[in-house]
Amino acid sequence: MKLSNRVLAMQESPVRKLVPIATKVKKTGKKVYHLNIGQPDIETPKVFMDAINNYDSRVIKYSFSQGEPVLIKAIQDYFKRDNVIFDDDEILITNGGSEALTFTTIALCDPEDEILVPEPFYTNYNGFTSAVNVHIKPITTKAENGFHLPSKSDIVKLITPKTKAILFSNPGNPTGTILRQDELEMLAEIAKEHNIYIISDEVYRGYAFDGLQSISMSTIKGVEDRVIIIESVSKRYSACGARIGSIQSKNKELMHNILKLCQARLCVATLEQIGAAALYRLEDSYTAEIRDEYQARRDIVYQTLQEIPGIVCEKPSGAFYVVAKLPVQNAEDFIIWMLEEFELDGETIMLAPAEGFYATKGLGKDEVRIAYVLNTKDMARAMFILKKGLEKYNQ
């Protein structure tokens, strides 16, 4: 019996595919510092469980397909802080940002259509699109200029009659790059001139360093009808397992049709929505405090990378990732070697090979993504192990 071409063509996760090797070496007693996956170690705010524990109902009923009103209201109030107003029917609650992106792709694209995405990009964008026979067309960005967008003409030449949208994460996963105001306005111009949508994945918004600001695409004027905002509580509030995301758009026709997909999967878990509403009501001071912690971790990572000969890396401006070009031929081989053959006092690290974050063949082969999701003491230790590992690997 044969499986579908669709599932056979899907990419394995570069973040998770080497986990069996890490699991095997940990059984030997070796400690592994996991810098491969964006799982924050920050404690989930207590208000999440408090809201669930205080939920007074003898029956956990189906939620509304569009989402719990209390959560929709909390998200509306969150966007009002940026003077952005979304009506009740302009927000849909989803099972994580993943479902938000899948539903958006289904609503915008027919099979064989294309979405432009700056590469390197969050690798699961491949999964969300390929599962519905939609193709990612990469906009190549480079480590040497901090993974910022190329010129308008370079982007426009990639547009074809099958192009339906431009998708990007801001701040960026895996690069930590924050798009500037002029870059967002350039994308708005392209979308208007070529009649395409903009999908802005903003799950890391709020984590901008060095006094910078991550600007929501929802604040850019003149493209309100073609902007789709993807939200999630996973990263900003360290609630990855809650699986609460959302779609926001002023395009009511689009939202009405995405609601059909929400109705087909019935609803999102009721209790998690109650907890998520409490998270969105937290003051901005909460995010600012966590941002400062991630900035301290970023500084440790970047300082160590600068001390290692042959590494190419621009200082990341946001999120909690950095992509670094290593002085090796094959980063995946190096990662496996670090797991299986290298240790420093019984400890090693695990990184994510960056090749899987590119759509263009051959790019990223010597690059890794580092997720600085450990406390500062552990980050310093992990980066020291990386430094010593590279020294030995290249002898």
pLDDT in tens, 248-291: 999 999 999 999 999 999 999 999 999 999 999 999 999 999 99
* pLDDT interval class at 18 (50, 70, 90): confident
Q: How confident is the model at residue 196 (pLDDT cuts 50, 70, 90)?
A: very high
Q: Where in the chain is the domain with CATH 3.40.640.10?
A: 46-282
pLDDT band at 4 (very low <50, low <70, confident <90, very high): confident
As a whole number, mean pLDDT of residues 204-221 equals: 96
Name the nearest CA neighbour of 204 among 194, 216, 196.
216
197-201 and 114-119 beta bridge pairing: unpaired
Question: What would the pLDDT profile of 296-342 be if each residue is shown by its tens digit?
Answer: 999 999 999 999 999 999 999 999 999 999 999 999 999 999 999 99
pLDDT value at residue 253: 98
Q: How much is the pTM?
A: 0.95
Mean pLDDT value of segment 79-86: 97
At residue 199, the 3 state secondary structure works out as strand
72, 64 contact by CB (below 8 A) = no
| Protein fold of 46-282 | Aspartate Aminotransferase; domain 2 (3.40.640)
Q: DSSP string covering 19-85, please? A: HHHHHHHHTTT-EEEE-SS----SPPPHHHHHHHHT---SS-PPPPTT--HHHHHHHHHHHHTTT--
Which residues of the chain form CATH 3.90.1150.10? 5-43+285-393
Say whether 367 sits in a helix, a strand or coil: strand
As its CATH architecture, domain 5-43+285-393 has Alpha-Beta Complex (3.90)
- Token pair for 306: 């600068």
Contact 127, 10 (CB under 8 A): yes
What pLDDT score does 14 carry? 64
Tell me, what's the pLDDT at 180?
96
For residue 6, name the pLDDT band (cuts at 50, 70, 90): confident
Measure the CA–CA gap between 303 and 378, rounded to whole angstroms. 15
Q: Which residues of 251-273 are buried (b: 16+ CB within 10 A; e: fewer)?
A: beebbeebbebbeeeebbbbbbb
